[in-house]
Amino acid sequence: MSEKPPLLETRNLQVSTWTKEGGEWRENQIVKGVSLKLEAGQVLGLIGESGAGKSTIGLAALLYGRGNCGISGGQVLLDGADITTLPEADKRQLRGRHIAYVAQSPAAAFNPAYRLEDQLLETSQLHNIMPRKEAHERMVSLFKQIGLPQPETFGRRFPHQASGGQLQRAMTTMALICHPRLIVFDEPTTALDVTTQLDVLAAIKRMIKGENTAALYISHDLAVVSQIADDILVLRHGKAVEAAQTMTLIETPREDYTRRLLSAGHTGKQTTPVADTEKPLLELRDVTAAYGDGEPVVCNVSVSLYRGRTLAVVGESGSGKSTMARVITGLLPPSGGNIIFDGKPLPPSLKMRNDKQARRIQMVHQTPDTALNPRQTIRAIIGRPLKLCLGLTGDAHEKRLRQLIEQVELDTELIERSPPQLSGGQKQRVAIARALATEPELIICDEVTSALDTLVAEGVLRLLMRLQRENNVSYLFITHDISTVRAIADEVAVMHNGLAIAVGAKDVVLNPPFDDYSAMLLSSVPEMRAGWLEEALAKRRMESAGH
């Protein structure tokens, strides 16, 4: 075995983009000399935050570069032969026959105008690998193995007729049809709900083992990668930080950066129970809400939030948690029930509330890119509510503005910049400062960390907790991520299909005894230890057998 060259090897791989500045082409290196080895039948996990170059390396293995991006140095070897120098036609053959790709967003990767089978069988037909009939048979048998419903007819569906998890399985099937020797998975489960992620992850793992295919598995989530990869390569700013066997890396990381990645999300807030005498700041009583005349999206939800505390609302997509936020802010008047704020009923719609009532509740949104007006400066974005809501002008305005920027741990030099010149984490901090500017008592945080990198997200969470201690503000914290809940919540509400299934103190809701859904949700959260995936699956099977 030792004489045989590895299936895929990169030697000092460099990938660059070129941009034109002042009439001259300037090179910008994204991948700065990365060497990796992948043996046949093995899975190598590539881990890193955004900008680490992990997707770029994945695409370089397919000899493909996005936009102006291309391999600028080093070698990519398949079976010991350099493939970077192949003519374009041979590269195409290579992509069709030997190396396949599974993209992050299944909804965007499939063409909505064609049936799935036409897209799945295209590669085999284009490269004349096997007759269509044979390819179709293989597709159906792969559908069966990967656990798709009605495998004989599933391929007749259009992409919109399948769920996200099903599409991701279909895409894995597409990659497997031509018996590739290597598959590049680019964050295949990131866009999925946590309970779906578990199934898809298990399906991918089973298929790779069953077909004895090698894989490059790209992810930002160490816990996910540790379930599937034999080896892990940690990347940062286009350079390799650390490479090791999965268990070695998790148990004895050598580098400081790896250690920080491993410990992210493990901070837990100590909570004390609410005093019996305390009145809730916000109370929802049997609130029901629907869009138009449709089915209610939120059904009879009753929750309470106390001053200076955090209520985490947890649930998967479609569970009604963001709708609940819209109801509280008055953007969507509820069709039933009452909202009590500070002991008084709150008018249902924003238009009916007075300025003071409205400004006591502010919101921080999920996507920092759309949360700030791209054509205003940071000064205007944070300064405007100070002027409008507090009537500050002149020196007092300037002083408070700078104070707020320092409070969210930003450099006051950023004050004249506009949002496109800031990073994601900086933008989210500006959004938090804007929400704080009206001096609200309640801030609704709608998935504020889900668009951010692991370490950046942790910084934002820590900032939110500090601000809560300093300003005694309450948070309604909407999230799908259980580790975020552990980090920040005092009380928890678990939402499922518009119902609040479990409501109570964090220690009560997140510890047994569980109701069925909470149990499934909690057991689906990936844990960073060997064999977790199999355990979780076995547990789920036992539970469903028990009913």
Partner 1 sequence: MKGGKRFPTAAAAGSAIIMLFVLLGIFAPLIAPYGESEFIGEAWEPISSQFWLGTDNLGRDMLSRLLYGARITIFIALAATMLSFFIGATGGLLAASQRGIVDSILSRTVDLLLAFPPLIFALVILSVLPSSTPILILVMAFLDFTRVFRVSYSSALSVITADFYEAAKLRREKTGYLLWREILPNVLPPLLAEFGLRFSFMILFLSSLSFLGLGVQPPSADWGSIVKENKDGIAFGILAPLIPAIAIATLAVSVNVVVDWVLNRVISGDKHG
Task: Give the residues lining the site for partner 1 (CB under 8 A).
Answer: 20, 68, 329, 331, 350, 355, 358-359, 361-363, 365-367, 370-376, 384-385, 388-389, 420, 431, 434-435, 438
For partner 1, the closer of residues 273 and 374 by Cβ is 374
Closest approach of partner 1 to the CB of residue 362, in Å: 6
For partner 1, the closer of residues 22 and 87 by Cβ is 22
Cα distance between residue 197 and residue 519, in whole Å: 16
Cα distance between residue 337 and residue 143, in whole Å: 46
Closest approach of partner 1 to the CB of residue 441, in Å: 14
Closest approach of partner 1 to the CB of residue 359, in Å: 6
Closest approach of partner 1 to the CB of residue 325, in Å: 10
Closest approach of partner 1 to the CB of residue 355, in Å: 5
Closest approach of partner 1 to the CB of residue 380, in Å: 8
Closest approach of partner 1 to the CB of residue 369, in Å: 9
Task: Give the burial class of 341: count Cβ atoms within 10 A of its Cβ; 0-12 exposed, 13-18 middle, 19 or more buried.
Answer: buried
| One-letter-per-residue 3-state SS of 361-386 | EEEECCCHHHHCCCCCCHHHHHHHHH
Question: For residue 510, what are the CA distances in angstroms to 262, 504, 513?
Answer: 22, 9, 9
Q: 180: how many CB neighbours lie within 10 A of its CB?
A: 22
Cα distance between residue 170 and residue 155, in whole Å: 9
For partner 1, the closer of residues 216 and 386 by Cβ is 386
Closest approach of partner 1 to the CB of residue 315, in Å: 20
For partner 1, the closer of residues 24 and 276 by Cβ is 24
What 3-state class would DSSP assign to 144?
helix
For partner 1, the closer of residues 359 and 480 by Cβ is 359
For partner 1, the closer of residues 186 and 446 by Cβ is 446
Cα distance between residue 364 and residue 383, in whole Å: 16
For partner 1, the closer of residues 130 and 389 by Cβ is 389
For partner 1, the closer of residues 166 and 438 by Cβ is 438
Cα distance between residue 98 and residue 400, in whole Å: 61
Q: Is 245 left (phi over 0), alpha (psi -120 to 50) or beta?
A: beta
Closest approach of partner 1 to the CB of residue 457, in Å: 18
For partner 1, the closer of residues 211 and 369 by Cβ is 369
What 3-state class would DSSP assign to 240?
strand
Closest approach of partner 1 to the CB of residue 293, in Å: 16
For partner 1, the closer of residues 181 and 321 by Cβ is 321
Nearest residue to 273 (alpha-carbon basis) of 475, 474, 490: 490
Cα distance between residue 450 and residue 146, in whole Å: 28
Cα distance between residue 240 and residue 253, in whole Å: 14
Q: Do you find a cis peptide bond into 106, omega within 30 degrees of 0?
A: no
Q: Where are the strands (E) in 23-138, listed by range?
A: 24-38, 43-47, 69-78, 81-82, 99-102
Could you give the angle at the alpha carbon of 78 between the alpha carbons of 226 and 80, nearest 5°? Answer: 110
